[in-house]
Amino acid sequence: MKAEDELFFNDDPRLSKGFLPVAYSQEIDESLKVFEVLSNEFVLTRINGTVHAYLDRCPHRRARLSLGHCEDGVITCAYHGWRFNAKGSCIEIPALPQGPISEKAKLTVPYRVVEKFGVVFIALERPVAPPPEVKEADLSDFLEGTIAPFEERVSVGLMADNFLDVAHFPFVHRSTFGDSTDDSKAEFQVTRKDHGFEAIYEHWFINREDPLAASGLRPLRQRRRLTYRYFAPLSLTLTIDFLDSGGRNVIGFFLCPSSRDKARVLSKLWRNDLTEESFMKEAVAFEEKIIEEDLLVQRSYRELALPLNPSAELHTTADRVTTTFRRVLKEFLEA
Ligand code: FES
Ligand SMILES: [Fe+2]
């Protein structure tokens, strides 16, 4: 197979068999909101507390369902007033008051919709891998932060690759957290999981946020453990454990493949080292700044695709985590 045949684009139809992040829970209420997933538009709404998704197209004359409304668990099309229940079955056709209603009068629904740790995931077909896990989301000592969702002309594959990459820190993030004096090689221990992996790396760093270090009660130079987790196809987390000062930060990164040229990006934080909500606001603002730095590179790609053929790029031993990512994603797509 030629290298150019193995490019992973946002609209790869094989993504249909994975749980795809689409929206934050807080974005979905009883109104009909439209989200694009793999170049199809879906209407998301909340009925009796549960998120439901439907293709944004009425089966009658294919009008946009999102022009209608949802009330008391019933969705009404704005064109001829057909009414559908939460399962998507038509329960009333105003122009045909005596019926019958064809069994085919149904809204198109994805295979599954799940809501986990404040994120809504959709599997368009039977999923081959489970949705991701963030166990800290259920722990009461963790505060939660949410980065404003955004849509960009970026590749979900390249964005995931960038999230797992540490070699760009001193360059792309030199004005935020990149430490250009750290010349150690990041030796990650990589463990394969079903449809994912875990990569762990412990290193020394300068902890400028530790008040005890600032007052001289603890050394400024401290140990930190980074744990990257990848959940195929498009969910990732980074857990940072501060081994000397204590505390854990988790960054979740969830990518929605909207269309060939567009992605929707969601990111959440969970931290147990913050005493006040206002500190979480600062942490969210800082994270948004970091993402903005990454976007300078990400937006600039001419071709929005991640090469899955190893010969298409030049890899070094320092790229072990991101080469593993390519391999696991490829296996998922071919499963
Ligand atoms: S197009 Fe929806 S009811 Fe006719
Ligand atoms: Fe980055």
Ligand 2 centroid to 184 CA: how many Å? 18
Provide the CATH topology of domain 135-334.
Naphthalene 1,2-dioxygenase Alpha Subunit; Chain A, domain 1 (3.90.380)
Q: Which of 67, 70, 80, 102 to mutate to test the pocket of ligand 1 (most atoms within 8 A of CB)?
A: 80
For the CA of 66, the nearest ligand: 1
Provide the CATH topology of domain 19-123.
Rieske Iron-sulfur Protein (2.102.10)
ipTM of the modeled complex: 0.97
Domain boundaries, the chain: 19-123, 135-334
**Residues in contact with 218: Cβ distance below 8 Å, sequence separation at least 6, in sequence order:** 210, 212, 244, 245
Q: Which atom of ligand 1 is found nearest the CA of 82? A: 3
Q: Give residues (CB < 6 A) around ligand 1.
A: 58, 60-61, 63, 77, 79-80, 82
Cα 149 to the center of its chain, rounded Å:
10
Ligand 1 centroid to 151 CA: how many Å? 30
Residue 234, pLDDT score? 98
Residue 305, pLDDT score? 97
Average pLDDT for runs of 10 along the chain of length 335: 76 98 98 98 98 98 98 97 98 94 97 98 98 97 97 98 94 81 80 96 81 86 93 98 93 98 98 90 94 97 95 90 97 96
Q: Which atom of ligand 1 is found nearest the CA of 63? A: 1
Cα 62 to the center of its chain, rounded Å:
30
Q: Which atom of ligand 1 is found nearest the CA of 77? A: 2
Residue 65, pLDDT score? 98
The residue whose CA has the least distance to atom 3 of ligand 1 is: 80
Residue 92, pLDDT score? 97
For the CA of 168, the nearest ligand: 2
Q: Which atom of ligand 1 is found nearest the CA of 68? A: 2
Residues lying with their CB under 5 A of ligand 2, a single-atom ion: 294
Q: To 5 degrees, how large is the angle CA 191–CA 194–CA 197?
A: 30
Helix (H/G/I), strand (E/B), else coil: 201: strand
Residue 183, pLDDT score? 67
**Residues in contact with 176: Cβ distance below 8 Å, sequence separation at least 6, in sequence order:** 286, 289, 290, 293
User: Closest by alpha carbon to 10, among 261, 236, 312, 322?
Assistant: 261
Measured on CA atoms in the order 251, 257, 260, 262, is the torsion positive or negative?
A: negative
Residue 180, pLDDT score? 66
What pairs with residue 33 in β-bridges?
A: 44
The residue whose CA has the least distance to atom 1 of ligand 1 is: 61
